[in-house]
Amino acid sequence: MKFNTKAIHGGQDNIDPAYDAVMPPIYQTSTYRQSSPGEHKGYAYSRSGNPTRTALEKAIASLENGKQGLAFASGLAAIDAVMKLLKPGDEVISTNDLYGGTYRLFNRIFKSFGIKFHFIGFSDVSKIESYVNENTKMIWTETPTNPLMHIIDIAAVADLSKKYNLKLIVDNTFATAYLQQPLDLGADIVMHSATKYLGGHSDVVMGTLVVKDDELADKLYFIQNASGGIAGPMDSFLVLRGLKTLHLRMQRHCENGRVLAEYLAQHPQVENVYWPGFASHPNHDIAKKQMKDFGGMVSFTTQGNKQGDAVKFLENLKVFTLAESLGGVESLAGHPASMTHASIPKEEREKIGVVDSLIRLSVGIEDEEDLRMDLKQALEA
């Protein structure tokens, strides 16, 4: 099956054995009747499993070319479950440009349980190797990274992780399975904040994991059930509905992203534009190799790097909404330094380029000209 067909039908065989409904019912139930202790029709309690969640988990597993999907209450709950594969003394090597909440979970929660994190740039894979020691268990990366759009060579990092028997986890939130499929490139776990493009309509918070290895699937399912950070049935239904238009939405996100990145690049008040589609982007060749297109996320800085200018720009937007999050049909704009990445200390942030004038756009699927005109008038203001 091709991707566009899988977006609609993947993993959805026999989705409603009772009535053959085309969409799975929302099984808004916590428990299931048993005819005798332990005798039931496959579901005993909705933390352990719920048919609506199963339908979604099968759909996302199909899109990522994995075997098993797992849905959680948020992206961070999914990441939390992955980290529970580790034990005190273990070490993780992570990209230094990543979502602020992920950094906070690693550095403020799991660090105090004895797990050591190394945050480094991944553009030079041999640099990652120099951090590997006998305690290293995991490599964590986003690509494109949030918010600076570095592109990490998944296949090259996967080769390294296999050499040292490490688990490679790719946070595929920005690209989605439409643009790249990390499991096919050698990753062990692909993670999503389904809150973003998978849901696609800014109406649900959710996280997903997909794996292809049965043993790893069993371990993660054990953690999902034991820790309990599961996705609810209503949210599962909403994300499943979102997945059915993922290919169409992503196509338009990419088209609009390109138009706005190119517009910003030639604007005299703009200093740097971060978008992997530019031939001048340092990782453009990797992006071309591993992605179908370049996505709808674009970051930029204004001339002179003054926070006041960035704030004024954001306050003047009319079609774009100033808000946290990304990946919905509507265009959003954010100020990483004070919003999504405020939990990273200023000094750390600035070292990697998350400066005070940085603005991040999640380019939606509105008319491209309205979006361009909105940027124009806000930059002029």
DSSP letters for 171-194: E-TTTHHHH--GGGGT-SEEEEET
Residues, the chain: 381
**What minimum distance in Å lies between the beta carbon of 295 and ligand P1T?**
12
3-state secondary structure of 86: coil
Read off the DSSP letter of residue 105. Answer: I
171 makes contact with ligand P1T (CB under 6 A): yes
- Applying the rule CB under 6 A, the residues between 337 and 366 that interact with ligand P1T are 340
Scanning 73-81, 159-167, 248-256, 277-285 for contacts with ligand P1T by CB under 6 A, the matching segment is 73-81
61, 63, 76, 204: which one binds ligand P1T (CB under 6 A): 76
51, 66, 101, 199: which one binds ligand P1T (CB under 6 A): 101
Distance CA 87, CA 189 (A): 18
Read off the DSSP letter of residue 328. Answer: S
Q: Decide if 268 contacts 158 (C-beta within 8 A).
A: no
> Please, which residues have CB within 8 angstroms of residue 358's CB and are 6 or more apart in sequence?
147, 299, 300, 301, 310, 335, 336, 337
Tokens of 46: 């909705």
Catalytic residue at 196?
A: yes
Distance CA 286, CA 167 (A): 21
Q: From the candidates 53, 58, 167, 196, which is the catalytic residue?
A: 196
328 makes contact with ligand P1T (CB under 6 A): no
Catalytic residue at 53?
A: no
103 makes contact with ligand P1T (CB under 6 A): no
Scanning 47-55, 94-102, 125-133, 179-187 for contacts with ligand P1T by CB under 6 A, the matching segment is 94-102
Catalytic residue at 171?
A: yes
324 makes contact with ligand P1T (CB under 6 A): yes
Q: From the candidates 80, 97, 153, 171, which is the catalytic residue?
A: 171
DSSP letters for 14-59: TS-TTT--SS------SB---SBTTB-SS-SBTTT--HHHHHHHHH
68 makes contact with ligand P1T (CB under 6 A): no
- Burial state string for 313-327 with b = 16 or more CB within 10 A and e = fewer than 16: bbeebebbbbeebbb
Report the candidate in 145, 167, 247, 242 with the shortest Cα–Cα distance to residue 212.
Answer: 167
Scanning 160-168, 299-307, 319-327, 371-379 for contacts with ligand P1T by CB under 6 A, the matching segment is 319-327
66, 75, 200, 296: which one binds ligand P1T (CB under 6 A): 75
How many residues bind to ligand P1T according to rule CB under 6 A? Answer: 18
205, 211, 246, 261: which one binds ligand P1T (CB under 6 A): 205
Scanning 97-105, 107-115, 240-248, 261-269 for contacts with ligand P1T by CB under 6 A, the matching segment is 97-105
94, 102, 301, 331: which one binds ligand P1T (CB under 6 A): 102
The catalytic residues are: 47, 99, 171, 196
State the residues that interact with ligand P1T by CB under 6 A. 74-76, 99, 101-102, 142, 146, 171, 173, 193, 195, 205, 207, 324-326, 340
